[in-house]
């Protein structure tokens, strides 16, 4: 008997899991299954209301509408709303309320149905609310997973921090990095034009394109290819700023290529302080022909490079140079007081709130 029960339980679990996985695909068959299930529950609710009128309030019908909004597409949801309205009308007649209260209850339920259908029609993905959220979450996770610094050789440390403008999980600021032959680190930090969640798909698409180019092309060719990619998008806000770093982790020599990005900062020991890098170039996606002037340098033991997006230094009431000077002084005080560990997070805590995403990345070479 225990074996029979165990087998039945396993089959039931497998069936339920199969139905859940089918619903996650958003297929027509899975939608019909969920619709029939909710219609059956609505019918069961009507039977309960008929036998025990005191235990089934009229507000219970709103519950099925909310569940339908979370799990059904617009078409099946429209059918469910019609079924719920018919069932609730019969239930209202059985409750024994006066006519005015019944009418008001049904009008409220009808208004709720209209709002539920309106919300469903606004789902541009064509998926139910719950599935749309799952898709956005996967988009966020993939974008964040790409921005993980690979393991660096002994003697090198990298730290980064990102803060979105409105507290959402989606940002237009991202970076990609990889280490080739255990010696050369190649990294690109990008700020995609846009605000809020609307920039998430653009950032994911652009990061995928750059990910295929990183480590394959020289920096100048990579920037030109990225510029061509954005030009072909034919979108009004399809442009971005970027900064590219290629560094030899044995000698510390590096090349920085900038495309309209705020200048990198180099922490030097002698004399001590943050110095502005001179790499310059046009932002990506603005014009067809771009030309970028890279800079070259070397990180000695005990020195560091800092990269950041314009949300860190741009202020509406001040010039960009003022913001860069503020960052230099803030970062210098932060290093003098607590050293380099946790520097990106400490800098972002000092930035005034704004309408742009903020990101800071620090690459440091340890002292021998």
123 with 180, same domain?
A: no
109 and 188 share a domain?
no
- Its sign, for the CA torsion 196, 201, 206, 208, is positive
3-state SS track over 92-148: HHHHCCCHHHHHHHHHHHHHHHHHHHHHHHCCCCCCCHHHHHHHHHHHHHHHHHHCC
Q: Of 98, 127, 156, which marks where a domain is finished?
A: 127
Residue 50 domain-assigned?
Answer: yes
199-213 vs 129-146: helix crossing angle, rounded to 10: 40
In a shared domain, residues 212 and 84 = no
For residue 77, tell me if it sits in a domain: yes
SS3 state of residue 256:
strand
Q: Which two tokens stand for residue 306?
A: 């800092």
SS3 per-residue string spanning 275-293: EECCCEECCECCCCCCCEE
pTM: 0.69
Give a yes or no: residue 133 inside a domain.
no
Same domain, 175 and 270: yes
161 and 89 assigned to the same domain: no
Q: Which residues pair with 259 in a beta bridge?
A: 242
What CATH number does residue 259 fall under? 3.60.40.10
One domain, residues 155 and 119: no
Cβ-based neighbour number of residue 65 at 10 Å: 23
Structure tokens at 145: 């997973």
DSSP state of 312: G
Pairing verdict, β 265-268 and 295-298: unpaired
Cα 118 to Cα 86, 105, 252, 319, distances in angstroms: 20, 20, 58, 45
pLDDT at 346: 94
Q: How does DSSP assign 170-239, residue by residue?
A: --SEEEEEEEETTTEEEEEEEEES--GGGHHHHHHHHHHHHHHHTTTS-HHHHHHHHHHHHHTT--TT--
Q: Tell me how many domains the chain contains.
A: 2
Count Cα atoms within 13 angstroms, Cβ side, for 20.
Answer: 6
Could you give the 3-state DSSP secondary structure of residue 2?
A: helix
Among candidate residues 160, 171, 223, 228, the one with its CA nearest the CA of residue 202:
171
113/209 same-domain check:
no
Domain end: 96, 127, 158, which one?
127
DSSP 316: T
For residues 208 and 333, membership in a common domain is answered with yes
Domain that holds residue 169: 141-365
Residue 158 and residue 270 in one domain:
yes
For residue 252, give the nearest of 300, 188, 218 by alpha carbon.
300
Taking the C-alpha atoms of residue 258 and residue 253, their distance in angstroms, rounded to an integer, is 17
Per-residue pLDDT 10s for the chain (368 aa) are 456 656 666 665 665 566 556 555 566 777 888 888 889 888 888 888 777 766 667 778 888 888 888 888 888 889 999 998 888 888 777 765 556 777 777 888 888 888 888 877 776 666 666 666 666 666 666 656 666 788 899 999 999 988 876 555 556 678 888 898 888 999 999 888 765 556 666 777 787 788 888 888 888 889 999 998 888 877 666 788 999 999 999 999 999 999 999 999 999 988 889 999 999 999 998 888 888 889 999 999 999 999 999 889 987 777 888 999 999 999 999 998 989 999 999 999 988 766 678 889 999 999 87
Same domain, 211 and 291: yes
- 65, 99, 127 — which closes off a domain? 127
Q: Are residues 13 and 66 in the same domain?
A: yes
| Domain match, 343 and 199 both | yes
């Amino acid at each position: 008997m225990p074996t029979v029960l165990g087998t039945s339980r396993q089959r039931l679990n497998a069936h339920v899991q199969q139905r859940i996985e089918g619903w996650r695909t958003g297929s027509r068959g899975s939608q019909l299954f969920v619709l029939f299930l909710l219609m059956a529950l609505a019918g069961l609710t009507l039977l309960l209301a008929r036998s025990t009128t005191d235990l089934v309030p009229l507000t219970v019908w709103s519950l099925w509408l909310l569940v339908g909004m979370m799990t059904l597409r617009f078409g099946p949801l429209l059918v469910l709303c019609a079924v719920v309205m018919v069932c609730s009308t019969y239930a209202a007649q059985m409750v024994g309320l006066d006519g005015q209260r019944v009418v008001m209850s049904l009008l409220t339920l009808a208004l709720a149905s209209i709002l539920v259908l309106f919300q469903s029609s606004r789902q541009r993905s064509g998926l139910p609310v719950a599935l749309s959220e799952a898709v956005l979450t996967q988009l966020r996770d993939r974008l964040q997973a790409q921005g993980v610094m690979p393991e660096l050789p002994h003697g090198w440390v990298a730290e980064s921090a990102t803060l979105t403008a409105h507290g959402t999980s989606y940002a237009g600021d991202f970076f990609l990095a990889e280490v080739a032959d255990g010696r050369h680190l190649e990294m690109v930090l990008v700020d995609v034009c846009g605000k809020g969640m609307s920039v998430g798909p653009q950032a994911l698409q652009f990061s995928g394109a750059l990910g295929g180019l990183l480590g394959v092309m020289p920096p100048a060719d990579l920037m030109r290819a990225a510029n061509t990619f954005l030009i072909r998008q034919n979108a009004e806000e399809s442009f971005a700023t970027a900064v590219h770093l290629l560094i030899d982790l044995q000698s510390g020599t590096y090349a920085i290529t900038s495309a309209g990005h705020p200048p990198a900062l180099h922490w030097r020991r002698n004399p001590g302080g943050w110095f502005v890098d001179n790499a310059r170039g046009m932002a990506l996606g603005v014009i067809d022909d771009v030309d970028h002037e890279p800079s070259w340098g070397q990180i000695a033991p005990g020195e560091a490079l800092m990269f950041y997006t314009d949300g860190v230094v741009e202020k509406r009431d001040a010039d960009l140079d003022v913001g860069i000077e503020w960052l230099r002084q803030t970062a210098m005080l932060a290093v003098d007081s607590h050293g380099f560990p946790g520097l990106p997070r400490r800098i972002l805590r000092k930035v005034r709130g704004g309408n742009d995403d903020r990101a800071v990345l620090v690459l440091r070479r340890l002292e021998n």
